[in-house]
């Protein structure tokens, strides 16, 4: 299947083309501002489906919005000249509901597409999109999320002009998945228009607070990614970090027994640490009242021992990087790990809460007590 994508180098176009290529959905015929105009007829004649994503939203003056109409007309005329009745998907905007220059231009472009459908019998899918956000969107242009993420990643202020205004947002990966579904005629409709199945509503001030929080926590804290909007915003924020800021040193605690370092912390999901024990070394020798842990041996050999305080029975678990397993340490069990191999024992440890030096919930105890 040959897929004509207009606006292929724009934010939505770039993401859609990447999605199509990654999933092997068809052969791309990308068309953008710098494409030889004569190729439009060639692509129109060859294509089996059209993704019309090209558009003008920040012209030098209001007259520039007319390009949304004229290019749509030119595209549809090319299809008609080729006697094509291929499906056309259009990326429109919720602004088409409103009486402003941009909205009027998008509305007129929609009407041209509906006329094309009536004349040819071709399926058309018109998406009136809200604000779309995600990776590869230019900041300081047309997306408040892109601008906020860019600024927060660089320690710049986030300006909120209308704190109480509620913004409707759609995540780019949800948009591209919805667009791709149209290739098989699988779309969600609301009246004459198609909609992305999931959108979010958030006030400007709350949006700023969420994004600012990503850069305000010390160390390697991650947010509550169980919240889908937070997860999508966090992924977007990370894509705006300068490459020089992607590597962060860990606070490593070393002694003759090995070393220990916290890797990732989350107020909602605890923390992950790395622990290295030298050959013959035993680490641990404590218990927790509430904190639970899970040990994962990545490399080396050892034995994990646990027992309840005041009881004699000891439970042992042989562990090895050659046969990975997860060993859960419930609260209320003394536990220790001994390296029984000839090389370092490397473990990842998940703890159910972030270590708090003011309330460590860690009590020294020996297995033979």
> What is the Cα–Cα distance from 55 to 6, expressed in whole angstroms?
9
Q: Is residue 46 part of a domain?
A: yes
> What is the Cα–Cα distance from 70 to 67, expressed in whole angstroms?
5
- Tokens standing for 366? 């020996």
Q: Are residues 199 and 266 in the same domain?
A: no
Q: Are residues 222 and 303 in the same domain?
A: no
> What is the Cα–Cα distance from 267 to 224, expressed in whole angstroms?
7
Q: Is residue 163 part of a domain?
A: yes
**pLDDT tier at 68 (50, 70, 90 boundaries)?**
confident
Q: Are 19 and 63 in contact (CB under 8 A)?
A: no
pLDDT tens profile 258-282: 999 999 999 899 999 999 999 999 9
Q: Are residues 205 and 265 in the same domain?
A: no
Q: Are 287 and 293 in contact (CB under 8 A)?
A: no
Judge whether residue 17 has pLDDT over 90. Answer: yes
Q: Are residues 7 and 115 in the same domain?
A: yes
pLDDT tens profile 221-257: 999 999 999 999 999 999 999 999 899 899 999 999 9
In this prediction the pTM is 0.92
Q: Are residues 278 and 146 in the same domain?
A: no
Measured on CA atoms in the order 4, 6, 11, 14, is the torsion positive or negative? Answer: positive
Q: Which candidate in 102, 171, 240, 333 is catalytic?
A: 102
Q: Is residue 55 part of a domain?
A: yes
Judge whether residue 176 has pLDDT over 80. Answer: yes
What local confidence, expressed as pLDDT, does residue 217 receive? 64
Last residue of a domain, one of 212, 238, 264: 238
Judge whether residue 136 has pLDDT over 90. Answer: yes
Does 102 participate in catalysis according to the annotation? yes
The tally of domains found in the chain comes to: 2
Beta bridge partners of 131: 169
Q: Are 211 and 232 in contact (CB under 8 A)?
A: no
**Strands laid side by side in the 282-287 sheet:** 315-320, 301-307, 334-339, 282-287, 363-364
Range of the domain at 360: 252-364
């Amino acid at each position: 299947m040959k897929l004509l994508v207009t606006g292929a180098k724009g934010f939505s176009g770039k993401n859609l083309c990447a999605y199509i290529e990654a999933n092997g959905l068809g052969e791309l015929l990308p068309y953008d501002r710098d494409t030889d105009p004569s190729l439009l007829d060639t692509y129109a004649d060859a294509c089996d489906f059209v993704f019309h994503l090209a558009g003008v939203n920040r012209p030098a003056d209001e007259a520039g919005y007319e390009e949304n109409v004229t290019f749509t007309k030119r595209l549809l005329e090319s299809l008609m000249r080729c006697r094509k009745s291929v499906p056309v998907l259009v990326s429109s905007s919720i602004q088409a509901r409103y009486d402003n220059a941009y909205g009027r231009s998008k509305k007129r472009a929609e009407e041209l597409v509906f006329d094309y459908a009536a004349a040819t019998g071709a399926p058309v899918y018109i998406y009136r999109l809200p604000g779309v956000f995600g990776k590869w969107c230019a900041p300081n242009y047309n997306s408040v999320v892109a601008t906020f993420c860019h600024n927060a990643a660089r320690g710049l202020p986030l300006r909120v002009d209308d704190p109480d205004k509620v913004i409707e947002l759609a995540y780019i990966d949800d948009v591209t998945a919805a667009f791709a579904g149209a290739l098989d005629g699988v779309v969600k409709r609301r009246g004459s228009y198609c909609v992305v199945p999931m959108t979010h509503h958030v006030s400007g001030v709350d949006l700023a607070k969420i994004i600012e929080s990503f850069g305000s926590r010390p160390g390697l804290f991650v947010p509550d990614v169980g919240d889908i909007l937070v997860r999508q915003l966090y992924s977007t924020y990370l894509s705006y970090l300068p490459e020089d800021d992607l590597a962060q040193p860990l606070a490593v605690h070393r002694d003759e027994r090995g070393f220990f370092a916290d890797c990732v912390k989350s107020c909602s999901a605890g923390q992950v640490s790395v622990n290295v024990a030298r050959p013959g070394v035993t680490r641990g020798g404590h218990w927790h009242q509430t904190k639970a842990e899970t040990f994962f041996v990545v490399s080396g050999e050892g034995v994990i021992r646990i027992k309840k305080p005041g009881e004699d029975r000891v439970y042992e678990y042989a562990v090895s990087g050659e046969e990975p397993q997860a060993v859960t340490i419930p609260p209320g069990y003394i536990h220790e790990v001994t390296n029984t191999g000839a090389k370092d024992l490397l473990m990842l440890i998940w703890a159910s809460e972030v270590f708090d030096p003011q309330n460590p919930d860690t009590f020294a105890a020996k297995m033979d007590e």
